Amino acid sequence: MNFIRNIGANTLNFIQSLGSVTLFLLQILGKSATAFVRPRLSIRQIYFAGVMSVLIIAVSGLFVGMVLGLQGYTQLAKFKSADILGYMVAASLLRELGPVLAAILFASSAGGAMTSEIGLMKTTEQLEAMNVMAVDPVARVVAPRFWAGVFSMPLLASIFNVAGIYGAYLVGVQWLGLDGGIFWSQMQSNITLSYDVANGLIKSAVFGVAVTLIAVHQGFHCTPTSEGILRASTRTVVSSALTILAIDFVLTAWMFTE
Protein backbone atom coordinates (compact mmCIF):
# COMPACT_ATOMS: atom_id res chain seq x y z
CA MET A 1 0.00 0.00 0.00
CA ASN A 2 2.78 2.39 1.00
CA PHE A 3 4.67 1.49 -2.18
CA ILE A 4 1.79 2.61 -4.38
CA ARG A 5 1.34 5.76 -2.28
CA ASN A 6 5.06 6.55 -2.73
CA ILE A 7 4.71 6.23 -6.51
CA GLY A 8 1.75 8.60 -6.42
CA ALA A 9 3.57 11.09 -4.20
CA ASN A 10 6.68 11.03 -6.41
CA THR A 11 4.61 11.51 -9.56
CA LEU A 12 2.81 14.49 -8.02
CA ASN A 13 6.14 15.96 -6.85
CA PHE A 14 7.57 15.57 -10.35
CA ILE A 15 4.59 17.26 -11.99
CA GLN A 16 4.68 20.02 -9.37
CA SER A 17 8.38 20.73 -9.92
CA LEU A 18 7.86 20.66 -13.71
CA GLY A 19 5.09 23.23 -13.32
CA SER A 20 7.23 25.34 -10.99
CA VAL A 21 10.16 25.32 -13.47
CA THR A 22 7.84 26.23 -16.37
CA LEU A 23 6.31 29.15 -14.44
CA PHE A 24 9.81 30.30 -13.47
CA LEU A 25 10.88 30.18 -17.16
CA LEU A 26 7.85 32.32 -18.12
CA GLN A 27 8.73 34.72 -15.29
CA ILE A 28 12.34 34.99 -16.56
CA LEU A 29 11.22 35.52 -20.17
CA GLY A 30 8.78 38.19 -19.04
CA LYS A 31 11.49 40.04 -17.12
CA SER A 32 14.36 39.62 -19.59
CA ALA A 33 14.21 43.20 -20.83
CA THR A 34 16.67 44.27 -18.09
CA ALA A 35 19.24 41.74 -19.32
CA PHE A 36 19.11 43.27 -22.81
CA VAL A 37 18.71 46.92 -21.82
CA ARG A 38 21.70 46.60 -19.48
CA PRO A 39 23.93 44.12 -21.37
CA ARG A 40 26.79 44.70 -18.93
CA LEU A 41 24.90 42.52 -16.42
CA SER A 42 24.88 39.63 -18.92
CA ILE A 43 28.46 40.24 -20.07
CA ARG A 44 29.62 39.83 -16.48
CA GLN A 45 27.74 36.53 -16.27
CA ILE A 46 29.10 35.36 -19.66
CA TYR A 47 32.53 35.81 -18.10
CA PHE A 48 31.66 33.59 -15.13
CA ALA A 49 29.66 30.99 -17.07
CA GLY A 50 31.49 30.93 -20.41
CA VAL A 51 35.05 32.18 -20.06
CA MET A 52 35.65 30.30 -16.79
CA SER A 53 34.48 27.04 -18.42
CA VAL A 54 36.57 27.28 -21.61
CA LEU A 55 39.65 25.57 -20.23
CA ILE A 56 37.87 22.51 -18.81
CA ILE A 57 35.74 22.23 -21.99
CA ALA A 58 38.72 22.50 -24.37
CA VAL A 59 40.93 20.07 -22.44
CA SER A 60 38.08 17.54 -22.05
CA GLY A 61 37.28 17.86 -25.76
CA LEU A 62 40.89 17.25 -26.70
CA PHE A 63 41.10 14.08 -24.60
CA VAL A 64 37.70 12.78 -25.78
CA GLY A 65 38.85 13.31 -29.39
CA MET A 66 42.16 11.55 -28.70
CA VAL A 67 40.36 8.55 -27.19
CA LEU A 68 37.92 8.43 -30.11
CA GLY A 69 40.83 8.61 -32.54
CA LEU A 70 42.72 5.81 -30.82
CA GLN A 71 39.74 3.48 -30.30
CA GLY A 72 38.23 4.30 -33.69
CA TYR A 73 41.46 3.65 -35.57
CA THR A 74 42.09 0.35 -33.74
CA GLN A 75 38.59 -0.98 -34.43
CA LEU A 76 38.20 0.37 -37.98
CA ALA A 77 41.62 -0.96 -39.01
CA LYS A 78 40.33 -4.50 -38.33
CA PHE A 79 37.81 -4.01 -41.16
CA LYS A 80 40.25 -2.11 -43.42
CA SER A 81 38.11 1.00 -42.96
CA ALA A 82 40.51 3.26 -41.04
CA ASP A 83 40.03 5.85 -43.82
CA ILE A 84 36.66 6.88 -42.40
CA LEU A 85 38.15 7.78 -39.00
CA GLY A 86 37.80 11.52 -39.62
CA TYR A 87 34.13 11.20 -40.56
CA MET A 88 33.39 8.87 -37.65
CA VAL A 89 34.98 11.19 -35.09
CA ALA A 90 33.38 14.33 -36.54
CA ALA A 91 29.91 12.75 -36.74
CA SER A 92 30.13 11.39 -33.16
CA LEU A 93 31.31 14.73 -31.78
CA LEU A 94 29.00 17.02 -33.75
CA ARG A 95 25.85 14.98 -33.31
CA GLU A 96 26.18 13.58 -29.78
CA LEU A 97 29.33 13.79 -27.71
CA GLY A 98 30.09 17.49 -28.21
CA PRO A 99 26.72 18.93 -27.15
CA VAL A 100 26.07 16.33 -24.41
CA LEU A 101 29.49 16.26 -22.73
CA ALA A 102 29.96 20.02 -22.99
CA ALA A 103 26.53 20.52 -21.38
CA ILE A 104 27.28 18.06 -18.55
CA LEU A 105 30.64 19.74 -17.90
CA PHE A 106 28.95 23.14 -18.06
CA ALA A 107 26.30 21.98 -15.56
CA SER A 108 28.89 20.72 -13.10
CA SER A 109 31.09 23.81 -13.28
CA ALA A 110 29.03 26.89 -14.17
CA GLY A 111 25.58 25.46 -13.25
CA GLY A 112 26.64 24.43 -9.75
CA ALA A 113 28.35 27.81 -9.23
CA MET A 114 25.22 29.68 -10.38
CA THR A 115 23.04 27.76 -7.91
CA SER A 116 25.46 28.36 -5.03
CA GLU A 117 25.77 32.06 -5.81
CA ILE A 118 22.01 32.69 -5.99
CA GLY A 119 21.47 30.41 -2.96
CA LEU A 120 24.02 32.40 -0.97
CA MET A 121 22.33 35.65 -1.99
CA LYS A 122 19.06 34.20 -0.71
CA THR A 123 20.65 32.98 2.55
CA THR A 124 22.25 36.36 3.26
CA GLU A 125 18.91 38.03 2.43
CA GLN A 126 20.32 40.01 -0.49
CA LEU A 127 17.33 39.02 -2.64
CA GLU A 128 14.97 40.24 0.09
CA ALA A 129 16.91 43.51 0.29
CA MET A 130 16.49 43.96 -3.48
CA ASN A 131 12.75 43.46 -3.09
CA VAL A 132 12.68 46.09 -0.36
CA MET A 133 14.50 48.51 -2.68
CA ALA A 134 11.91 47.75 -5.41
CA VAL A 135 14.52 45.92 -7.52
CA ASP A 136 13.14 42.72 -8.99
CA PRO A 137 15.65 39.91 -8.20
CA VAL A 138 14.42 37.83 -11.15
CA ALA A 139 15.16 40.67 -13.58
CA ARG A 140 18.38 41.79 -11.86
CA VAL A 141 19.96 38.47 -10.78
CA VAL A 142 18.28 35.54 -12.58
CA ALA A 143 17.61 36.77 -16.15
CA PRO A 144 21.21 37.91 -16.93
CA ARG A 145 22.55 34.55 -15.68
CA PHE A 146 19.97 32.64 -17.71
CA TRP A 147 20.75 34.45 -20.97
CA ALA A 148 24.50 34.25 -20.35
CA GLY A 149 24.20 30.46 -20.04
CA VAL A 150 22.00 30.14 -23.15
CA PHE A 151 24.45 32.28 -25.15
CA SER A 152 27.60 30.54 -23.88
CA MET A 153 26.52 26.91 -24.33
CA PRO A 154 26.61 26.66 -28.19
CA LEU A 155 29.98 28.44 -28.24
CA LEU A 156 31.39 26.07 -25.61
CA ALA A 157 30.05 23.02 -27.49
CA SER A 158 31.70 24.28 -30.70
CA ILE A 159 35.01 24.76 -28.88
CA PHE A 160 34.64 21.21 -27.48
CA ASN A 161 34.00 19.84 -31.01
CA VAL A 162 36.99 21.62 -32.54
CA ALA A 163 39.28 20.46 -29.71
CA GLY A 164 37.94 16.89 -30.12
CA ILE A 165 38.49 16.82 -33.89
CA TYR A 166 42.00 18.19 -33.41
CA GLY A 167 42.63 15.53 -30.73
CA ALA A 168 41.57 12.78 -33.13
CA TYR A 169 43.77 14.34 -35.84
CA LEU A 170 46.76 14.30 -33.48
CA VAL A 171 46.29 10.60 -32.67
CA GLY A 172 45.07 9.32 -36.05
CA VAL A 173 47.28 11.31 -38.41
CA GLN A 174 50.29 12.48 -36.41
CA TRP A 175 50.70 9.43 -34.21
CA LEU A 176 49.23 6.42 -36.01
CA GLY A 177 50.12 7.54 -39.54
CA LEU A 178 46.72 7.87 -41.25
CA ASP A 179 46.84 10.09 -44.33
CA GLY A 180 45.91 13.66 -43.39
CA GLY A 181 44.20 14.38 -46.73
CA ILE A 182 41.93 11.36 -46.38
CA PHE A 183 41.14 12.27 -42.76
CA TRP A 184 39.80 15.70 -43.80
CA SER A 185 38.27 14.72 -47.16
CA GLN A 186 36.19 11.86 -45.70
CA MET A 187 34.94 14.31 -43.07
CA GLN A 188 34.16 17.04 -45.60
CA SER A 189 32.35 14.81 -48.07
CA ASN A 190 30.07 13.30 -45.42
CA ILE A 191 29.46 16.03 -42.83
CA THR A 192 26.88 18.63 -43.85
CA LEU A 193 26.50 22.13 -42.49
CA SER A 194 22.71 22.19 -42.57
CA TYR A 195 22.32 18.73 -41.00
CA ASP A 196 25.17 17.77 -38.65
CA VAL A 197 26.63 21.13 -37.64
CA ALA A 198 23.31 23.02 -37.40
CA ASN A 199 21.51 20.25 -35.49
CA GLY A 200 24.44 20.00 -33.05
CA LEU A 201 24.25 23.75 -32.40
CA ILE A 202 20.46 23.59 -31.90
CA LYS A 203 20.96 20.73 -29.44
CA SER A 204 23.53 22.64 -27.42
CA ALA A 205 21.30 25.74 -27.30
CA VAL A 206 18.43 23.60 -25.94
CA PHE A 207 20.81 22.08 -23.35
CA GLY A 208 21.91 25.62 -22.45
CA VAL A 209 18.29 26.58 -21.71
CA ALA A 210 17.72 23.40 -19.66
CA VAL A 211 20.93 23.59 -17.59
CA THR A 212 20.77 27.30 -16.74
CA LEU A 213 17.03 27.10 -16.00
CA ILE A 214 17.60 24.23 -13.56
CA ALA A 215 20.58 26.04 -11.99
CA VAL A 216 18.82 29.36 -11.40
CA HIS A 217 15.59 27.64 -10.30
CA GLN A 218 17.42 25.52 -7.73
CA GLY A 219 19.34 28.53 -6.42
CA PHE A 220 16.28 30.78 -6.24
CA HIS A 221 14.13 28.18 -4.48
CA CYS A 222 16.70 26.57 -2.18
CA THR A 223 16.33 26.38 1.60
CA PRO A 224 18.25 29.45 2.85
CA THR A 225 20.82 27.55 4.90
CA SER A 226 24.33 26.32 4.15
CA GLU A 227 22.98 22.77 3.93
CA GLY A 228 20.19 23.96 1.63
CA ILE A 229 22.73 25.53 -0.77
CA LEU A 230 24.77 22.33 -0.74
CA ARG A 231 21.71 20.21 -1.52
CA ALA A 232 20.57 22.62 -4.25
CA SER A 233 24.00 22.57 -5.94
CA THR A 234 24.06 18.76 -5.90
CA ARG A 235 20.49 18.66 -7.27
CA THR A 236 21.50 21.05 -10.07
CA VAL A 237 24.28 18.77 -11.27
CA VAL A 238 22.25 15.54 -10.96
CA SER A 239 19.01 16.91 -12.45
CA SER A 240 20.91 18.67 -15.26
CA ALA A 241 22.79 15.51 -16.24
CA LEU A 242 19.60 13.43 -16.31
CA THR A 243 17.63 16.14 -18.13
CA ILE A 244 20.39 16.54 -20.73
CA LEU A 245 20.41 12.79 -21.45
CA ALA A 246 16.60 12.62 -21.64
CA ILE A 247 16.34 15.68 -23.93
CA ASP A 248 19.22 14.29 -26.01
CA PHE A 249 17.27 11.10 -26.68
CA VAL A 250 14.19 13.05 -27.78
CA LEU A 251 16.18 15.45 -29.96
CA THR A 252 18.23 12.64 -31.54
CA ALA A 253 15.05 10.69 -32.34
CA TRP A 254 13.58 13.82 -33.89
CA MET A 255 16.64 15.14 -35.75
CA PHE A 256 18.70 12.15 -36.82
CA THR A 257 16.25 9.37 -37.60
CA GLU A 258 14.93 9.02 -41.15
Q: Using CB under 8 A, which residues numbered 69 to 108 contact another protein?
A: 79-81, 84, 90, 94
- Helical H segments across the chain, by residue range: 2-30, 33-37, 39-46, 52-78, 85-92, 98-106, 112-123, 126-132, 137, 143-169, 180-190, 198-220, 226-255
Binding residue for another protein (CB under 8 A) from 105, 119, 196, 244? Answer: 196
Contact region with another protein (CB under 8 A), list: 5-13, 112-120, 193-201, 222-230: 193-201
Cβ pair 157, 204 in contact under 8 A: yes
Q: Judged by CB under 8 A, does residue 193 bind another protein?
A: yes
Burial zone of 143 (CB within 10 Å; 0-12 exposed, 13-18 middle, 19+ buried): buried
Specify the residue, 50 or 219, whose C-beta has the smaller distance to another protein: 50
Euclidean distance between the first and the last CA atom of the chain, given in angstroms as a whole number: 45
As a whole number of angstroms, the distance between CA 120 and CA 200 comes to: 34
Binding residue for another protein (CB under 8 A) from 12, 15, 26, 43? Answer: 43
Q: Judged by CB under 8 A, does residue 168 bind another protein?
A: no
Specify the residue, 52 or 251, whose C-beta has the smaller distance to another protein: 52
Q: Using CB under 8 A, which residues numbered 139 to 158 contact another protein?
A: 152, 154-156, 158
Specify the residue, 25 or 191, whose C-beta has the smaller distance to another protein: 191
Specify the residue, 41 or 107, whose C-beta has the smaller distance to another protein: 41
Specify the residue, 48 or 176, whose C-beta has the smaller distance to another protein: 48
Q: Judged by CB under 8 A, does residue 25 bind another protein?
A: no
Please give the helix or strand (H or E) that residue 177 lies within, else none: none
Cβ pair 150, 140 in contact under 8 A: no
Q: Using CB under 8 A, which residues numbered 116 to 135 contact another protein?
A: none
* Side-chain-side CA neighbours of residue 31 (13 Å): 17
Specify the residue, 3 or 79, whose C-beta has the smaller distance to another protein: 79
Query: What is the closest distance, in whole angstroms, from the C-beta atom of residue 112 to another protein in the complex?
Result: 20
Q: Judged by CB under 8 A, does residue 214 bind another protein?
A: no
Bin 102: left if φ > 0, else alpha if -120 < ψ < 50, else beta. alpha
Which DSSP letter does residue 82 get? G
Query: What is the closest distance, in whole angstroms, from the C-beta atom of residue 256 to another protein in the complex?
Result: 11
Cβ pair 146, 30 in contact under 8 A: no
Binding residue for another protein (CB under 8 A) from 10, 13, 74, 188? Answer: 188
Which DSSP letter does residue 176 get? T
Interface residues with another protein (CB under 8 A) are 43-44, 46-47, 50-51, 54, 79-81, 84, 90, 94, 152, 154-156, 158-159, 161-162, 165, 184-185, 187-197, 201, 258
